Structure 1
Amino acid sequence: MSRPLIRIPYTDLFPPPQPIPRTANSLPGAVAALQEFLLSPTPRDRNLPGSTVVLTGAGLSVSSGLSDYRGTNGTYRKNKTYRPIYYHEFLANHEARKRYWARSFLGWGALRGAGPNAGHYAVRDLWRMGLVGRVVTQNVDSFHAKAHPELSTLELHGYLRAVVCVTCRNEMAREEMQGELARLNPRWDEFLRAAVTEGAHAIRTNPDGDAEVPGAPYTTFRYPACPTCLRDPPDAGGERATVEVDGDGAWSPTSTAGILKPAVVMFGENIADRVKQAAEEAIDGAGRLLVLATSLATYSAWRLAKRAKDRGMPIAIVNMGGVRGEEAFFADLDPNQTGAHGVRVDMSTDVVLPALVKELQQNPFRRPLAVEAQGKEVPKEAVFRDMVK
């Protein structure tokens, strides 16, 4: 595969963080600081129910059995030669697509069998208490949607639960795609079944759902064409596109359309404008930002934290290890503040968040003034528009 023109940003570890406030270096101290952060009026005078927006990353799903990218044991640390497929490669190269779908076929079972962990459910509980109103996630595993379906979540980088045609944009469930991949590749399916049966399927799955078997003959792998384009080839540039398959229904390289890709934003692919706008609206409509389990190495996430900082919003970060440019997010903080204006915790979210929820449940707090004044319960339906579909 040719050398990529796009560099993967920040694959080395960031400098270790300093706890903010200083007492946040212990679990009780971290919980106390986060309590004060969530319950204090904000400088923007938005003491509203759910005025905190949550921004999450791959580290939140580590306890679910998935790997992260840049953590101490993340993909970029454990495998120095790893790099994801790039969008331009996927579109232009039939062999690259074979490799992608073969690896995805092997890794799908691990992702399908995993689910939300204590960190995801803690976010749900904070929402039920009226302390969180919106979630923006970089994760593509759909664990947020499973843990708190009532709380709409903006999936900034898309989702692995579906595949989408690059021509007609129609979607197919990833589970249906898995069945087609198994049918078209019986020897690969036999290998995968045997590995699972024998308990040898200890293939490490990357955050984007793929896995690798060294020496695997990816060139033999086949993948299906978009069924919609196959039935009714679309027009492309004033000419009828060509969608051809072999005798078993596998996409043929003589085709000019009908390529299926995961419904995620690949490296080198732009986030849709409507998703960017929705993410910005999530920041602009909140009073504070809670960053969970992400190093903010990708610009799409970092710019949201920067937007929050520029708008004068208090920021709390719970992440094991350093974060991109984090010193700027806590610049000019009063050294005597105890959490209301900023928090930095260097601990796992599946430890800190459940402890925070337990403390809040055991020590009832005064509901946000706006809720009490209206005499209403915290709404069960989130006001944030659902960008899942």
Structure 2
Amino acid sequence: MQEGPAPAPDVPSRLGQLADLVADGDVVVLSGAGLSTESGIPDYRGETGRRRRAKPMTYQTFIGSAEARRRYWARSYLGWRHIAQARPNAGHRAVAELQRRGLVTGIITQNVDGLHQAAGARDVIELHGGLDRVLCLGCGRRTPRRLLDERLRAANPGWVARVGEINPDGDAVLSDEEIRAFRVVDCADCGGVLKPDVVFFGENVPPARVRDCYALTERAGLLLVLGSSLAVMSGLRFVRHAHRNGIPVAIVNQGATRGDEYALLTLDAPLGPTLTALVAAL
């Protein structure tokens, strides 16, 4: 009788293999939205994403339409509070602890929520920027999001809206009528258009930031992907780069990813409990 393929190792076995890889140190983490879902922040492509029909704002739409900007800022005015109030979960704390122990030497995140830093991680490269900052497209000045929030509040006295659902980028679903009543403000210095300091869909990550991520990847002993489907090239390229350079890749995610074929090890499991167990095993 011809034997079938050997069964895949169970989760405890794979966790042990992952612990062995991480114990060697020089780990660079590449994290995605799946790491933050346990903090109550939904994603676009994972389980929470599949339950919604959200279409993220694109750079071209934002730049090309004043009405699109009004819609974005009205929805974000309410929705970003959900992001700002989120707290790090066990997965974020585990990554920070691995860095504290000297095992993780770099962190690249596709997330814009700042939760790695809130958990105590240092020198995090925010591949797609951060929602806690605002960029003027006219003069290039960056300012804290809380200052814009104060100005928007002053410009919209008495404006109330009923929030439906919250999207991953702090975008609250509102009615057209509520959006039309919202007033947008421009840069206080030059009157230019304000944009969140994040990379929208259809926008390129700044080249210098990409180069920093490539350089960090090249110095890694292990590239550890956490909570990313790697569906977009902005993250997948670093997995491919590691593979081309003979650097092992391990992926912990709920569900398959576009990078699985390049990985030495994959683990389909919840991030918080798995990373907590990983820290305990080291």
- Is residue 2:60 matched to residue 1:88? yes
Q: What is the alpha-carbon distance in structure 2 between the residues aligned to residue 270 and residue 35 of structure 1?
A: 35
Distance 1:62 1:216, change over 3 A: farther
TM-score scaled by length of structure 2: 0.93
Partners of 1:37 and 1:343 within 8 A in 2: no
Distance 1:21 1:294, change over 3 A: farther
- Is residue 2:194 matched to residue 1:260? yes
Please show how residues 173-192 of structure 1 align to structure 2 within 5 Å: 173-188=144-159, 191=160
Cα deviation code 1:238-266 (max 9, x no counterpart): xxxxx4xxxxxxxxxxxxxx100000001
Q: What is the alpha-carbon distance in structure 1 between the residues aligned to residue 228 and residue 242 of structure 2?
A: 16
Q: Match for 2:52 among 79, 100, 105?
A: 79
Aligned-pair identity (%): 42
Cα deviation code 1:118-159 (max 9, x no counterpart): 10010011112221100000000011111124x210000000
TM-score scaled by length of structure 1: 0.68
Partners of 1:140 and 1:264 within 8 A in 2: yes
- Is residue 2:215 matched to residue 1:281? yes
Cα drift, residue 359 of structure 1 = 2.0
Please show how residues 1-389 of structure 1 align to structure 2 within 5 Å: 22-23=8-9, 25-26=10-11, 28-40=12-24, 50-74=25-49, 77-80=50-53, 82-149=54-121, 151-188=122-159, 191=160, 203-229=164-190, 243=191, 258-327=192-261, 329-330=262-263, 342-360=264-282
Cα deviation code 1:296-319 (max 9, x no counterpart): 011110001000000111111000
Cα drift, residue 348 of structure 1 = 1.0
Cα drift, residue 21 of structure 1 = 9.2
Q: What is the alpha-carbon distance in structure 1 between the residues aligned to residue 132 and residue 7 of structure 2?
A: 40
Partners of 1:63 and 1:117 within 8 A in 2: yes
Partners of 1:318 and 1:349 within 8 A in 2: yes
List runs of 5+ in structure 2 lacking aligned partners.
1-5
Partners of 2:81 and 2:170 within 8 A in 1: no
CA RMSD of aligned residues (A): 1.8
Structure with greater Cα Rg: 1
User: Match for residue 386 of structure 1?
Assistant: none
Partners of 1:21 and 1:33 within 8 A in 2: no
Cα drift, residue 30 of structure 1 = 3.3
Cα drift, residue 215 of structure 1 = 4.6
Cα drift, residue 171 of structure 1 = 1.3
Cα deviation code 1:95-120 (max 9, x no counterpart): 00000000101102211111211100
List runs of 5+ in structure 1 lacking aligned partners.
1-19, 41-49, 196-200, 230-242, 244-257, 331-341, 361-389
Q: What is the alpha-carbon distance in structure 2 between the residues aligned to residue 317 and residue 132 of structure 1?
A: 15
Q: Does the residue aligned with 2:135 lie in a helix, a strand or coil? A: strand
Q: Does the residue aligned with 1:186 lie in a helix, a strand or coil? A: coil
Partners of 2:137 and 2:194 within 8 A in 1: yes
Q: Does the residue aligned with 1:22 lie in a helix, a strand or coil? A: coil
Partners of 1:120 and 1:143 within 8 A in 2: yes
Q: What is the alpha-carbon distance in structure 2 between the residues aligned to residue 141 and residue 117 of structure 1?
A: 12
- The alignment covers a number of residue pairs equal to 277
Q: What is the alpha-carbon distance in structure 2 between the residues aligned to residue 21 and residue 181 of structure 1?
A: 57
Report runs of 4+ in structure 1 exceeding 4 Å deviation.
none
